[in-house]
Amino acid sequence: MLAADEPHAALIGRDVLGNGGNAGDAAVAMYFAMAVTLPSRAGLAGGGVCLVFDHGDKAAEVIEFLPQAGPSGGVVPRGVRAMAALHARYGLIRWEPLVAPAENLARFGHSVSRALARDLVRAAATIRSDRELSRIFRSGTGRLPGEGDRVLQPDLSSVLAGIRLQGAGYMHVGPFTRRFAEAASAAGQRLSPMELRGALARFQAPAQLRFGTETLYFSVPPAADGLLAAVLWQLLTEVRDYDSAPPDERPHLFVEAAMRAFADRASWLAPGGQSREPAPDLLAEDRLARLMADYNAGRHTAAFRLSPAPESRPEDPDGAGFAVGDRWGNAVACSLTMNGLFGAGRIAPDTGVLLAAPPLGGNDGTLSPSVAILGNEPNGDAHLALAASGGAAAPTALVAALLGVLALDQPLEEVIAAPRLHHGGAPDLVLYEAGVPPTELDALRARGHGMAEAEALSRVGGFYCVEGLRDIKYGCAANSDPRGWGLGALVQ
């Protein structure tokens, strides 16, 4: 079962699972498909983070490939190598049929999804400013393609053909490497062949938290918001008891804990996106209890009174994600970014590869997506996988979904669609989506919160099986976020 922020990618992942592939295989195929069908948010020159739960090892692992600036100034792509590493370690079927669907979509064309059509409208000025982008996404009359219109990307299909036949080496160690470096440099992103050769994905141990007999895994720095989400989860489930709080207090408790989690990040996030302390130390209950020591159930604590005070950091509001699980109990959740809508807004000439933008805050790890997996280590069976993307609210949206499903026993579809709250501390405001019940808003105002309505607070999608992927008769759900017009699918 799976969910993705782009429907073509979801259908390709479904086909891979239906044809004997596992979750790792489907994740690889979905990544390459998204590079074609949702280039506004994912691409061969972009990056992200994946969290993998492996049935055989009965353990989880993070694959980090965030798009970061290299010594020459351009953003060094690591996504293709990340997918090759994911496939080599966890894949089941051959590489070629996983890349071929994306290659065919680029070569023969694909219909524009609603997700891409909305992004094209938002980025109309960016598309007009680049000749290569205009050639793909504007007609002879200058019209942008709408939902259902067909788009072809022949240059990108040629690159994907090379990747299909030669693996990640095609992009990083072969003759194409120099050509891509020169093309990226011509488009304003200085890259050297040496930087491309040295670009590697990184395997990391995830943050781990016990939840009953299962283990909840999160990504870790430099995907810093995954660890922030783990801190927030602990504040609401171990330090405080969210599910036992009175209903009118829960929104207040949630945003107060979120504000403190964001303030706490300033104490451990080091330059370069690394953590100053190991994740287990940051998640120690006595340490987290101190963060909530001044919590007042009846009154908002002003953000400036926290130590350290929350910091405003630049975030990419336009990422994408997917989560997939298979019948053996394996699961993969990935969240992807181009560091901005349509990345740098430039295609490397004659390659079809859209370049990622430089990180807004430097290589500090804050432009990072959030992913979580719930797995049972004794039997090697995953129960849940969620991917959140899209700005500062990604970790709060992820934790809100986890609370709804795991703490309140609410249906996944209902939890993902529910209007959201967010408080990052800077500014000292509760952001809320349209549809939050007036009684909740009134309860927050009565406690002294400043309020501001927001259009959409991140996207979350994934799956949840009550008794695990290997025992779906007790109930499973796979849902994408309705804010993003993706697709969820169950594979029998």
Dump pLDDT digits (tens) for 152-164.
Answer: 999 999 999 999 9
pLDDT of residue 366: 45
pLDDT above 70: residue 365: no
Verify that 347 and 455 share a domain, yes or no: no
Answer yes or no: is pLDDT of 363 > 70. Answer: no
d(CA 329, CA 215): 14
Residue 158 forms part of a structural domain = yes
pLDDT bin (cut points 50, 70, 90) of residue 361 is low
Residue 154 lies in a domain: yes
Q: How many domains does the chain have?
A: 2
Tokens of 295: 């919590």
Enclosing H/E stretch for 68 = strand 68-69
Are 183 and 351 in contact by the 8 Å Cβ rule? The answer is: yes
Same domain, 353 and 389: no
Residue 319 maps to a domain: no
**100/217 same-domain check:** no
Mean pLDDT confidence for 390-416: 96
What mean pLDDT do residues 418-433 have? 97
Q: What's the pLDDT band for 362 if we cut at 50, 70, 90?
A: low
| Cα-based angle 467, 473, 475 (whole degrees, multiple of 5) | 60
| Model confidence at 353: pLDDT above 70 | yes
Whole-number pLDDT of residue 145 = 94
Q: How far is CA 305 from CA 194, 236, 239, 296, in A?
A: 48, 20, 20, 13
Reduced to 3 DSSP states, what percent helix, strand and coil does the chain have, rounded to the nearest 5? 40, 20, 40
Helix (H) or strand (E) holding 70: none
27/114 same-domain check: yes
Opening angle at CA 370, ends 442 and 248, nearest 5: 20
Confidence class for position 368, pLDDT limits 50, 70, 90 = low
Query: Could you tell me if 248 and 196 are in contact, meaning their C-beta atoms sit under 8 angstroms apart?
Result: no
Residues 148 and 274 in one domain: no
437, part of any domain: yes
Q: Look up residue 407 and give its DSSP letter.
A: I
Rounded to the nearest angstrom, the gap between the alpha carbon of residue 437 and the centroid of all alpha carbons in its chain is: 28
Q: Is residue 78 part of a domain?
A: yes
Contact assessment for residue 45 and residue 77, using Cβ atoms and an 8 Å cutoff: yes
291 and 244 in one domain? yes
Residue 107 has pLDDT above 60, yes or no: yes
Asked if residue 420 and residue 400 are part of one domain, the reply reads yes
Other C-beta atoms closer than 10 Å to the C-beta of 408 total 11
Structure tokens at 288: 């987290």
pTM as predicted: 0.96
| Tokens encoding 419 | 């209007």
pLDDT at 444: 98
Residues 188 and 222 in one domain: no
pLDDT at 320 over 70: yes
- Do you know the residue count of the chain? 492
* Judgement on whether residues 45 and 58 belong to the same structural domain of the protein: yes
Mean pLDDT of 176-193: 96
List C-alpha distances in Å: 206 to 50, 63, 254: 10, 9, 24
Query: If you ran DSSP here, which 8-state letter would residue 436 be given?
Result: -
Residues 398 and 268 in one domain: yes
Q: Averaged over 416-440, what is the pLDDT? A: 97
State the average pLDDT for the chain: 94
pLDDT the model gives residue 386: 98
* 349 & 398 share domain: no
Same domain, 440 and 401: yes
Q: Say whether pLDDT at 212 is over 60.
A: yes
- CATH number, domain with residue 262: 1.10.246.130
Side chain identity at 91, as an amino acid letter?
G
Distance, CA of 3 to CA of 385 (rounded, Å) = 10
Confidence at 316, pLDDT banded by 50, 70, 90: confident
489 found inside a domain: no
Residue 22 lies in a domain: yes
Beta bridge partners, 76, equal 68
pLDDT, average across residues 71-98: 97
Q: What angle do CA 286, 387, 106 make, to 5 degrees?
A: 155
pLDDT > 90 in the chain, percent: 88
- Please give the backbone phi and psi of residue 182, each rounded to the nearest 5 degrees, phi first: -70, -40
DSSP-derived secondary structure letter, 312: -
Which structural domain, as residue segments, surrounds residue 433?
A: 209-314+378-484
Give the closest residue to 349 by CA, choosing from 206, 123, 183.
183
In a domain, 323, yes or no: no
